[in-house]
């Protein structure tokens, strides 16, 4: 993409675009969600402010999921709270599949104003970010308090505290009669310009990073929503003065609930027989409700 303006704009909903800026030792991801977002949100009748939070979380899951390297690697975002309107939020990404849901107290939510803060919604909450790597049978998890103005700020704090990687994230969500559109960008500075290298002596005041982050922070919500601009064009707008910007087409995103009768049979088989008996109705059927897609599965014990 160096010194060549993209001339075939496409809307490119529901896919991830990866990019690197070699001269600045930076990498990034950009995403714009459309139909897949509406599909996930339609599983429950969320109020607009609650829907906004879940949409933002799904954008963050797609951006961080786009950093995964191998098939079947999984990224999970989980937010839990004490004293907040939202008690639980879960989103995950695997192989281009997104899913997410949240639980909230409708009565408590109705007492809030039209524009609740993160503290109003989550109270004293925390954010857990988990990377599952099946090929090495490893799991990495970081915890940060749910503080700041948004989930996006909390995730930036996670990268600063747990990963010690200078990271800038911009997200935006818009709902209207035509559905919900959301998107964003994540960009990081990689010490020594090499992914996976041990991160020693990380400097958050690195001049190369300061330049890239200032340009990245200029990304506006209206640009994210503008369907006539492709993701490639957005990257071009921000970093066209760089000597080289490499772009890589990422995964196409789909709604990815993994619920099935077989899956729930395997889960229930882990419970003792007397506990399964207590779960069953008078006909010996255990009805499992999938929180992600709102479908019910009758399982004969």
Alpha-carbon torsion 205, 206, 210, 213, what sign?
Answer: negative
> What tokens were used for 190?
């990689």
Q: Is residue 6 pLDDT above 50, yes or no?
A: no
Residue 10 has pLDDT above 90, yes or no: no
Give how far the C-alpha of residue 156 lies from the chain's centroid of Cα atoms, to the nearest Å.
Answer: 12
Q: Is 265 exposed, middle or buried (0-12, 13-18, 19+ CB in 10 A)?
A: middle
pLDDT (average), residues 30-41: 95
Contact call for residues 191 and 25 (beta carbons, < 8 A): yes
Length of the chain: 301
Domains of the chain, start order: 15-255 (3.55.30.10), 261-300 (no CATH)
Q: How far is the CA of 191 from the CAs of 25, 198, 200, in angstroms?
A: 7, 9, 8
pLDDT digits (tens, 9 = 90+) for 99-124: 999 999 999 898 887 788 898 999 88
Q: Report the 3 state secondary structure along 95-138.
A: CCEEEEEEEECHHHHHCCCCCCCHHHHHECCEEEEEEEEHHHCE
Q: Measured over all CA atoms, what is the biggest interatomic distance in the chain, rounded to whole angstroms?
A: 70
What is the rounded distance in angstroms from the CA atom of residue 93 to the CA atom of residue 91?
7
| Distance from C-alpha of 269 to C-alpha of 231, rounded to nearest angstrom | 45
Please name every residue paired with 131 in a beta bridge, in sequence order, or none if there are none: 75, 140
| Strand intervals (E) in 8-96 | 15-21, 26-33, 74-80, 86-94
Q: What is the mean pLDDT of residues 20-36?
A: 95
Name the residue among 89, 251, 223 with its Cα closest to residue 155: 89
pLDDT of residue 167: 95
How confident is residue 11, by pLDDT bands cut at 50, 70 and 90? low
Residue 257: pLDDT over 90:
no
Is the model more confident about 8 or about 249?
249
pTM: 0.86
pLDDT in tens, 47-79: 999 999 999 999 999 999 999 989 999 999 999
Which residues, at least 6 apart from 249, have a Cβ–Cβ distance to it below 8 Å? Answer: 15, 17, 18
- The pLDDT of residue 203 is 53
Can you tell me which residue has the tokens 């948004």? 150
What residues pair up with 179 in beta bridges, in sequence order? 176
């Amino acid at each position: 993409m160096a010194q060549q303006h993209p001339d075939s704009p496409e809307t490119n909903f529901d896919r991830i675009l990866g990019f690197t800026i070699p001269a600045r030792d930076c990498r990034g991801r950009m995403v714009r969600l459309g139909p897949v977002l509406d599909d996930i949100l339609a599983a429950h009748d969320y109020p607009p402010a609650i829907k906004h939070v879940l949409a933002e979380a799904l954008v963050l899951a797609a951006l961080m999921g786009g950093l995964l390297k191998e098939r079947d690697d999984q990224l999970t975002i989980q937010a839990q709270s004490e004293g907040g309107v939202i008690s639980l939020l879960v989103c995950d990404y695997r192989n281009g599949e997104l899913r997410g849901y949240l639980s909230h107290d409708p009565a408590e939510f109705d007492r809030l104003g039209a524009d609740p803060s993160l503290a109003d919604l989550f109270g004293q909450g925390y954010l857990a970010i988990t990377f599952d790597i099946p090929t090495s049978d490893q799991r990495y998890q970081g915890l940060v308090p749910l503080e700041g103005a948004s989930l996006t700020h909390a995730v930036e704090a996670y990268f600063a505290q747990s990963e010690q990687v200078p990271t800038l994230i911009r997200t935006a969500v818009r709902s209207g009669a035509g559905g919900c559109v959301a998107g964003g960008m994540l960009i990081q500075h990689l010490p020594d310009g090499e992914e996976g290298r041990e991160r020693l002596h990380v400097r958050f005041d690195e001049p190369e990073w300061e330049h890239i982050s200032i340009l990245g922070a200029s990304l506006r919500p209206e640009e994210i929503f503008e369907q006539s601009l492709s993701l490639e064009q957005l990257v071009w707008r921000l970093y066209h003065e760089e000597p080289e910007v490499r772009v890589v087409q990422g995964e196409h995103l789909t709604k990815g609930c993994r619920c099935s009768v077989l899956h729930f049979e395997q889960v229930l088989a882990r419970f003792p027989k007397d506990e399964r008996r207590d779960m069953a109705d008078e006909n010996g059927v255990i009805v499992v409700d999938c929180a992600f897609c709102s479908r019910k599965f009758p399982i004969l014990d």
